Amino acid sequence: MGRSEVSCRIRIQVVCLASAVAIGCAGNPAPVEPELPPPPPEGNQAVSTSPPAPPPPPVSPPSPPIIEEENPISTRSLQELNRESPLEPVFFDYDSSDLSPRGQIIIQANADILSEHSTWVITIEGHCDQRGSPEYNLGLGERRALVTEEYLIALGIDSARINTVSYGKEFPFDPEDTEEAHSRNRRAHFVITGR
Amino acid sequence: MISRFRILFLISIFASAVFLAAQQPDVPSELERRQSGVDLIIGDRIGAQPRIAVPDCLALGPEPEVAAAAETIAEVLWDDLDFEREFRMVVRDTYDSIPTARSLIDLPLDDWRELGADGVVSCSVEWISNSRMRVTARLFNVRSRASSFGVEYSGATTNVRTYAHQLSDEIHRHQRGLRGVARSKIAYISDRDSESVLGLVEDRSTKEVYFADYDGANVKRVTISRTLNNNPAWSPDGRAIAYTAWRPFMDILVSHVYQGRLESPVEGNSDTQNWLPAWSPDGSQLAFTSNRDGQPELYIANGDGSGIMRLTNHPGIDTSPTWSPQGHQLAFVSDRTGAPQVYVIGADGTGLRRITFESHCDRPTWSPAPYNEIAYSSQTGAGHDIKVVDLATNEVRQLTYGLGTNESPSYSPNGRHVAFSSTRGAGNKQIWVIGRDGRGLRRITGVGNNEMPSWSP
């Protein structure tokens, strides 16, 4: 849309320029003293008897060719990578930092992915549901992160690739005050921080 | 005898204030003061609170800002005097019928007496230069017609509310022997600037540290980190705020707010994280939670981070320390028996005892002397309420009753009030203040979400 508007405007200006000498530009309506026609060229006396050729009709210049943009090299920022992260979160029971059998399976799957991408560095964030004080939940989130980290290390992931942090109840997945939201918020969340 | 002692005391305060100001040029503008030597206590009805009126100050000068200051100082002083509930304040919109004072000392005392006042504050405001002003105040006894208290302040014109706050604190001390809190500050965290955390996960709002006057006015922003910050705690000298910062690991930072200086005394890193700082009453030590031994335990370190001592040793979570007024004991939260409960332990790690026996008790704050009690938040249904346990009798009393969730209590320096966060009303978290007797509730924030108050000394 924007491009066609611009090319249209350019075209009008070009037309305007081409005919400016003869008829003056419509954009400049101020009266101009008519100039005397230039003296006929010396060597063309014989031809001068025939009537002068009519000026060629104004021709629109051809539309400029569309230059294809260079394809951007496909890259995914860490933000995008984390938005569609292959690393699944691990969920916990209320006021608990014990790993469930399901949680252990998820950490195993994450360990496999981390083995495949051996340069990835991750931070395990411990999160809590919206019940309890923000202060106490920092400790609870810390334990969830540490328990998850320990299990990952036990599965053979180098501890140098893992950082942990607790966010307590500060960053819920789902801020609603329902049992379902609470269970989604009690989690160890994996963030890829380097690759 | 008393008055001679008081004058000596005032002289020493004045001298030390001058000394401090000379030492530290960045001290927030102190007001210079002079006081007349008269000593009279207003209120002659035994057992009744004296009734005080605070009409607008006299504006000595035609400038509109002088008139505005004269009104603001009276309004703020009325609120300040009302706050401690030591006086029965005569409502300001009943003053219309009373003629304006002809001067600071020539006021229609009979009219004020007729309105039911026992005392009237008479004050005047003038500009003594472009940036300096003078406030003169007297407190008149309407029966004896004597000025029982007089003071003259001069200082900057930048924040006229300061004059009312200092005047209120002096009237409370002079008339009631009470330490007022009108010049104290309340620090808290807020998402009011609606910024996003700089990081790899989107849609996370920052929380930064702010502080305001005790009544919520005069807000200052302390941190500009574009990350999460938590648990501000004023140092006992009121010049620094310790808090938990995500850098991105949890660590304790100390911001010297009047110097723009930042310290990280216990030097955390991604393996050794520290959070929830609490200053010892003498300001020489910090208690905090750390994961340095594998999971959340309590530690005490010197202010420079040296001499770190482990205080608790239990596989449960031990967190949220708060010091007793003498610094010999700390209260904290532990889930060692299941749900979180409040415990007390000696500062040397001995003498552990459990204090609360309810379903879920959290975030204790030890009161200042002379009260010997601990405020905490207790689960009372869907949310929490603020309760107080008297350590002498083990009696528990409840300050809030089920409106929203009420958390993170913090005592005023005179122990008579508790600030806390609450979702009552609109549902946003705001800072509220309530008397330790459960009366006198007021809200002091209103923009964004505000929580985790810390009341300055």
Task: Identify the CATH number of the domain defined by range B26-176.
Answer: 3.40.50.10070
Residue B2's pLDDT band, with cuts at 50, 70 and 90, is very low
For residues B324 and B116, what is the distance between their CA atoms, to the nearest angstrom?
A: 43
For residues B283 and B254, what is the distance between their CA atoms, to the nearest angstrom?
A: 12
pLDDT at B40 over 80: no
Instruction: Provide mean pLDDT across the span B317-334.
Output: 97
CB contact under 8 A, A123 and B248: yes
Instruction: Provide mean pLDDT across the span B418-428.
Output: 93
- In chain B, what are the domain boundaries? 26-176, 188-455
The pLDDT, as a whole number, for residue A6 is: 44
Q: Which of B317, B384, B451 sits opposite A143 (nearest CB)?
A: B317
Instruction: Provide mean pLDDT across the span B158-181.
Output: 96
Instruction: Provide mean pLDDT across the span B36-59.
Output: 77
| Strand, helix or coil for residue B318 | strand
Q: Which of B200, B246, B276 sits opposite A79 (nearest CB)?
A: B200
Instruction: Provide mean pLDDT across the span B312-328.
Output: 96
Angle between the N-to-C axes of helices B161-176 and B64-83, in degrees from 0 to 180, rounded to the nearest 10: 40
Judging contacts by C-beta atoms under 8 Å, the chain A residues touching residue B248 are: 123, 165
Q: Domain B188-455: give its CATH superfamily.
A: TolB, C-terminal domain (2.120.10.30)
**In terms of DSSP bridges, do strands B318-323 and B309-310 run parallel, antiparallel, or are they unpaired?**
unpaired
| Strand, helix or coil for residue B138 | strand
CB contact under 8 A, B340 and A136: yes
CB contact under 8 A, A143 and B207: no
The H-or-E segment that residue B3 falls in is helix B2-23
The pLDDT, as a whole number, for residue B158 is: 93
Cβ atoms of B43 and B119 within 8 Å: the answer is yes
Q: Which residue out of B317, B385, B452 would a mutagenesis test of the A interface target, given it has the greatest number of A Cβ atoms within 10 Å? A: B317
Instruction: Provide mean pLDDT across the span B263-290.
Output: 96
Closest CA to B87 of B174, B10, B200: B174
From the CA of A113, how many Å to the nearest CA of chain B? 19
How would DSSP label each residue in B38-49?
A: -------STTSP
pLDDT at B7 over 50: no
The pLDDT, as a whole number, for residue A65 is: 78
In Å, how far are A101, B81, B122, B270, B334 from B77, measured between CA atoms?
63, 6, 11, 49, 43
Cα dihedral across residues A152, A154, A158, A163: positive or negative = positive
CB contact under 8 A, B275 and A138: yes
The pLDDT, as a whole number, for residue B6 is: 45
Task: Count CB neighbours of B314 within 10 A.
Answer: 15
Q: Which residue out of B191, B201, B231 would a mutagenesis test of the A interface target, given it has the greatest number of A Cβ atoms within 10 Å? A: B201
> Chain A contact for B334, CB < 8 A?
no
A122, closest residue in chain B (CA to CA): B200
The percentage of chain B sitting over the pLDDT mark of 90, rounded to a whole number, equals 84
The pLDDT, as a whole number, for residue B197 is: 86
Residues 73-102 of A with CB under 8 A from B: 78-79, 82-83, 95
Between B345 and B25, whose confidence is greater? B345
Render pLDDT for A94-136 as a digit per residue (tens, 0 to 9).
999 999 999 999 999 999 999 999 999 999 999 999 988 999 9
Q: Which residue out of B247, B273, B385 would a mutagenesis test of the A interface target, given it has the greatest number of A Cβ atoms within 10 Å? A: B273
Judging contacts by C-beta atoms under 8 Å, the chain B residues touching residue A167 are: 228, 246
Least confident range from A130-134, B80-84, B365-369: namely A130-134
Judging contacts by C-beta atoms under 8 Å, the chain B residues touching residue A166 are: 250, 273
Tokens of B85: 């509930």
For residues B133 and B69, what is the distance between their CA atoms, to the nearest angstrom?
A: 10
Low-confidence ranges of chain A (pLDDT < 70): 1-52, 54-60, 71-75
Q: What is the ipTM of this complex?
A: 0.85
A189, closest residue in chain B (CA to CA): B201
Mean pLDDT of chain A: 79
Between B418 and A65, whose confidence is greater? B418
- Indicate the pTM of the whole model: 0.82
The pLDDT, as a whole number, for residue A2 is: 40
A159, closest residue in chain B (CA to CA): B271
- Looking at domain A78-194, its CATH architecture is 2-Layer Sandwich (3.30)
